[in-house]
């Protein structure tokens, strides 16, 4: 944990609005942390606070135990990579990469070895003499990354570096970033609004909403145990189905089937809960095989299909049930679903998520 970075109760206020609200988290040495959340939730502001491009209003930032809250950006030895990777058009790739070193008057003798190393790492050897105008989008992004890593920073800060790339390049650059991270193991904070990107890249994901940290954890933890209704709806594609249902004495009726809430004082006094079930955890009778007569741990629902989208490997079926409209996935094995088809849906009690109707926290 030598160079771990810690935010302690950090807030950032802009003209009365709180962009980041009393946020605490730690970035472990070598960790790839992804900040995710809807537009305006404070992701970029948090990154800019880390970079020193914005002043914190309250709280502090520590690096390896020492307070860096008031350090200038250049004193932090962090490298930021933006979505519009601003290269100098009149300079060659090599001059772009060495720009920072030249500004700092570092001895020329050191340039060569370091440029060769990053050029090798990012496969830029052939391109060192070219100007940015003669590069593809993916190549430009690699040059921007080379420029960021050549100074061997303690932390990479990446603000949606894939967002200006087309789908194929996105995958290519994403794989490049991951390979690079495996080789360098430099701590990284990566901002995206794309939760799929977050799921595939992150060691841990921090979900933000309205400047508040909602949950931080491994992708699988957030997927399997969302802390609250917001995280439940935000993490996972297609999104979790969520129904608001009345409950009494710790029991919620799901289409006449009793589901017991966890036995806590809070749950016993609730009159409403949110019940969540992911589309991939619902089966229909086209593929459902009853489990040896033990249906007590499954919910069964009659449903009518309203429409069906072919996603490729699966159909995303939209169905009307007594709980309301829901969506579920059916594997595409040539058994094309039909609109208005009547089906029986089923899901396991183990796969449901229950949230308090009062504070929206996971029960
Ligand atoms: P997006 O995904 O759209 O980039 P974000 O999560 O990165 O959004 P921020 O850019 O951090 O969100 O903005 C958080 C909030 O702070 C927003 O309400 C935004 O309008 C506000 N904000 C950001 N920068 C400033 C500024 N310089 N002055 C005033 N308000 C700002």
ipTM above 0.90, yes or no: yes
Return the exposure string of 42-81: e unless at least 16 CB atoms fall within 10 Å of the residue's CB, then b. bbbbbbbbbbbebebeebebebeeeebbeeeeeebebbbb
Q: Please give the number of the atom of ligand 1 that sits closest to the Cα of 42.
A: 11
Q: Is the pLDDT of residue 288 over 80?
A: no
Residue with tokens 């399997």: 224
Contact of 47 with 80, CB cutoff 8 Å: yes
353 DSSP β-pair partners: 276
The mean pLDDT of the chain is 90
Q: CATH topology of 5-230 equal to that of 241-356? A: no
Spacing, Cα 40 to ligand 1 middle (Å) = 5
Contact of 151 with 76, CB cutoff 8 Å: no
Spacing, Cα 209 to ligand 1 middle (Å) = 12
pLDDT digits (tens, 9 = 90+) for 202-244: 999 999 999 999 999 999 999 999 999 999 999 999 999 999 9
Please report which confidence band the pLDDT of residue 290 belongs to, taking 50, 70 and 90 as the band edges: low
Token pair of 341 as six digits: 């088809």
What pLDDT, on the 0 to 100 scale, is given for residue 84? 67
Contact of 301 with 255, CB cutoff 8 Å: yes
What pLDDT, on the 0 to 100 scale, is given for residue 252? 95
Q: Is the pLDDT of residue 109 over 90?
A: no
Binding-site residues, ligand 1, Cβ < 6 A: 14-15, 17, 19, 37, 39-45, 193
CATH topology of domain 241-356: OB fold (Dihydrolipoamide Acetyltransferase, E2P) (2.40.50)
Report the C-alpha gap between 48 and 57 in whole angstroms.
Answer: 13
Ligand 1 atom 14, closest CA = 42
3-state secondary structure of 97: helix
Q: Is the pLDDT of residue 1 over 50?
A: no
Spacing, Cα 120 to ligand 1 middle (Å) = 37
pLDDT digits (tens, 9 = 90+) for 248-280: 999 999 988 899 999 999 999 999 999 999 999
Architecture of domain 5-230: 3-Layer(aba) Sandwich (3.40)
- 174 vs 189, residue with greater confidence: 189
Parse the chain into domains and list their residue ranges: 5-230, 241-356
Report the C-alpha gap between 314 and 36 in whole angstroms.
Answer: 26
Q: CA Rg, the chain, in Å?
A: 25
Spacing, Cα 10 to ligand 1 middle (Å) = 15
3-state secondary structure of 284: strand
What pLDDT, on the 0 to 100 scale, is given for residue 296? 61
């Amino acid at each position: 944990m030598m160079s771990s970075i810690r935010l302690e109760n950090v807030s950032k206020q802009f003209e009365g609005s709180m962009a980041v609200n009393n946020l605490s988290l730690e970035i472990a040495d070598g960790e790839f942390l992804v900040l995710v959340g809807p537009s305006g939730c404070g992701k970029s502001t948090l990154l800019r606070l880390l970079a020193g491009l914005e002043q914190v209003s309250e709280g502090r930032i520590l690096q390896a135990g020492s307070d860096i809250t008031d350090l200038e950006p250049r004193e932090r030895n962090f490298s930021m990579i933006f979505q519009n990777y601003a290269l100098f058009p009149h300079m060659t790739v090599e001059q772009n990469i060495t720009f920072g070193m030249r500004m700092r008057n570092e001895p020329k003798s050191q340039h060569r070895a370091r440029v060769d190393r990053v050029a090798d790492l990012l496969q830029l050897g052939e391109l060192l003499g070219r100007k940015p105008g003669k590069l593809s989008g993916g190549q430009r992004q690699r040059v921007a990354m080379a420029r960021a890593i050549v100074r061997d920073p303690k932390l990479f800060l990446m603000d949606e570096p894939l967002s200006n790339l087309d789908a194929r390049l996105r995958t290519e650059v994403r794989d490049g970033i991951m390979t690079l991270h495996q080789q360098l193991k430099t701590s990284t904070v990566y901002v995206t609004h794309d939760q799929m990107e977050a799921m595939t890249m992150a060691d841990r994901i921090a979900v933000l909403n309205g400047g508040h940290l909602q949950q931080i954890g491994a992708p699988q933890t957030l997927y399997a145990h969302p802390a609250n209704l917001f995280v439940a709806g935000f993490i996972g594609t297609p999104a979790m189905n969520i129904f608001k249902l009345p409950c009494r004495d710790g029991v919620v009726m799901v289409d006449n089937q009793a589901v017991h809430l966890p036995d806590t004082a809070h749950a016993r006094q609730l009159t409403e809960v949110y019940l969540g079930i992911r589309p991939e955890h619902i089966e229909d009778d086209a593929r459902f095989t009853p489990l040896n007569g033990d249906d007590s741990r499954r919910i069964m629902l009659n449903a009518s299909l309203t429409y069906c989208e072919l996603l490729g490997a699966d159909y995303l079926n939209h169905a009307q049930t007594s709980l309301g409209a829901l969506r579920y996935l059916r594997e595409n094995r040539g058994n094309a679903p039909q609109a208005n088809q009547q089906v029986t849906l089923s899901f396991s009690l183990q796969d449901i998520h229950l949230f308090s109707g009062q504070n929206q926290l996971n029960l």
